[in-house]
Amino acid sequence: MSRGLRTLLCLFLMGPLGATEIVWPTSMDRTSLRSFEDYAQPTVSGKPESALFGMVRDDQQRFHEGVDIRPSARGPNGEPLDRVFSAMKGTVAYINQELNGPYGKYVILYHPEAELPVYTLYAHLASIEKTLKVGDKLPKGTAFATMGHTSTSPNAIPKERSHLHFEIGVMLSANFGNWYNAQPDHRGTPNQHGIWNGQNLAGFDPVPVLARSSVNLLDTVRQLPTALAVTMRTKRPPDFVQRYPGLLAPGSDPAKAAGWYVEFTWHGLPKRWTALPPESKQLPKGVWSYVALDHKFRPQLVQRKMITADAKMPSETLIRNVDILLTGTR
Ligand SMILES: [Zn+2]
């Protein structure tokens, strides 16, 4: 067989080149949805946009890292009947059966076969299949739980506001546990969720992903706008760049890097990594430095606590994310 024909055949067998098939994660029929009001479960504020991703809560002061999808059917007791489905092919990474945090009962799936190995998170579940275990491989659209309203306290979310909190994103560091244990203010508060702790996860807007039946997830993240940049000095490459080589700038060789120029989205996702060689003038004097800002995103960056109100200094979200990314690199 000629090489051209073989290539053509391979492309054909792969289906759409470099795309992940996406399924709506609840029993709702995606084709019936006309606008976000059709699926959004607002907070107690009643504002539909409070269900969406972003600074949508408490007068734009509180970040929501996912989308809240309301039930499509309820039983006689008012509890949701909706099943919860894997949004794409993946592996069970984490199951939390306890009511020990705001997410209540939740499941995290990891998607190593996607163009970018993202995670998806499904929270406030009423129940999780008893047979589900970490490591299980799920084809897309596999039902593994039932929608609910579980959270820290029994009435944190009343059944009237039951929903699936759905999140998609990337993991900052496989060394998160070391970072967590080194924080003085974490003494006495053990890390209950290991590397799947919410502080170690950086989400992006799931709606453009869920809206389509097939998405290239690497392109989706690459196309997120850069809002600010930092430079960092490293002895070893952050494990982030090994996990997400698709986010390296062309020509960036982690083995030769003495540091990195890292572009962040306004919400704190490190979306593009350019290796800095040892002779680079851009290397920071100290461990890291906040070096650039797109003024278009200044209001969101301030609200998200990426930068201080005067835009001159990094603030807590950026400091924490950079700190976590640098764990194990010194
Ligand atoms: Zn939510």
Residues 228 and 82 in one domain: no
CA of 306 to the centre of ligand 1 (A): 21
Q: Is residue 240 part of a domain?
A: yes
Quick count: other Cβ atoms within 10 Å of Cβ 291? 13
Q: Is residue 1 part of a domain?
A: no
Q: Is residue 4 part of a domain?
A: no
Residues 209 and 238 in one domain: no
Residues 182 and 301 in one domain: no
- pLDDT, residue 1, reads 47
Q: Which residues pair with 127 in a beta bridge?
A: 146
Q: Is residue 130 part of a domain?
A: yes
Residues 185 and 44 in one domain: yes
- Burial class from Cβ neighbours inside 10 Å (0-12, 13-18, 19+) for residue 14 reads exposed
Residues 208 and 228 in one domain: no
Q: Is residue 6 part of a domain?
A: no
Query: Nearest Cα to 110, choosing from 16, 174, 17?
Result: 174
Q: Following DSSP, what letter does each residue of 199-230 receive, concatenated?
A: GGEEEE--HHHHTSSEE-HHHHHHTSPP-EEE
- pLDDT, residue 7, reads 52
Q: Which long-range contacts (CB under 8 A, 24 or more apart) does 115-118 make?
A: 115/18, 115/19, 115/20, 115/216, 115/217, 115/218, 115/219, 115/246, 116/170, 116/217, 116/218, 116/220, 116/221, 116/244, 116/246, 116/247, 117/243, 117/244, 118/168, 118/169, 118/170, 118/217
CA of 172 to the centre of ligand 1 (A): 20
Residues 188 and 278 in one domain: no
- pLDDT, residue 17, reads 60
Q: Is residue 211 part of a domain?
A: yes
Assigned token pair, 161: 């506001």
CA of 191 to the centre of ligand 1 (A): 21
- pLDDT, residue 100, reads 87
Residues 208 and 235 in one domain: no
CA of 276 to the centre of ligand 1 (A): 38
Q: Do the Cβ atoms of 140 and 89 come closer than 8 Å? A: yes
Residues 238 and 198 in one domain: no
Residues 135 and 86 in one domain: yes
Residues 316 and 173 in one domain: no
CA 326 – CA 240 distance, rounded (Å): 9
Last residue of a domain, one of 169, 197, 215: 215
Q: What is the pLDDT along the chain (330 residues), one digit of tens a residue?
A: 455 555 555 444 444 467 999 999 999 998 888 899 999 999 988 899 999 999 988 878 889 999 999 999 999 999 999 999 999 999 999 999 998 889 999 999 999 999 999 999 999 999 999 999 999 999 999 999 999 999 987 678 999 999 999 999 999 999 999 999 999 888 888 898 999 999 999 999 999 999 999 999 999 999 999 999 999 999 999 999 999 999 999 999 999 999 999 999 999 999 999 999 999 999 999 999 999 999 999 999 999 999 999 999 999 999 999 999 999 998
Residues 175 and 277 in one domain: no
Residues 131 and 183 in one domain: yes
Q: Is residue 167 part of a domain?
A: yes
Domain count, the chain: 2
- pLDDT, residue 15, reads 45
- pLDDT, residue 11, reads 47
- pLDDT, residue 188, reads 81
Q: Do the Cβ atoms of 111 and 138 come closer than 8 Å? A: no
pTM of the model: 0.92
Q: Following DSSP, what letter does each residue of 37-73 receive, concatenated?
A: GGTB---TT--GGGGSSEEEETTTTEEE-SEEE--S-
Query: Nearest Cα to 227, choosing from 183, 293, 145?
Result: 293
CA of 160 to the centre of ligand 1 (A): 15
CA of 67 to the centre of ligand 1 (A): 6
CA of 157 to the centre of ligand 1 (A): 11
CA 10 – CA 2 distance, rounded (Å): 12
What is the span of the domain harbouring residue 133? 13-215
Q: Do the Cβ atoms of 161 and 40 come closer than 8 Å? A: no
Report the CATH number at residue 64: 2.70.70.10
Q: Is residue 315 part of a domain?
A: yes
- pLDDT, residue 50, reads 92
Last residue of a domain, one of 176, 195, 215: 215
CA of 262 to the centre of ligand 1 (A): 28
Residues 6+ apart with CB under 8 A from 69: 25, 26, 28, 39, 40, 41, 51, 163, 164, 166
Last residue of a domain, one of 161, 180, 215: 215
CA 45 – CA 104 distance, rounded (Å): 21
Beta strands in the chain (DSSP E): 20-21, 54-57, 62-64, 67-69, 83-85, 90-96, 105-110, 119-125, 127-128, 137-138, 143-146, 164-171, 201-204, 214-215, 228-233, 259-264, 270-276, 288-293
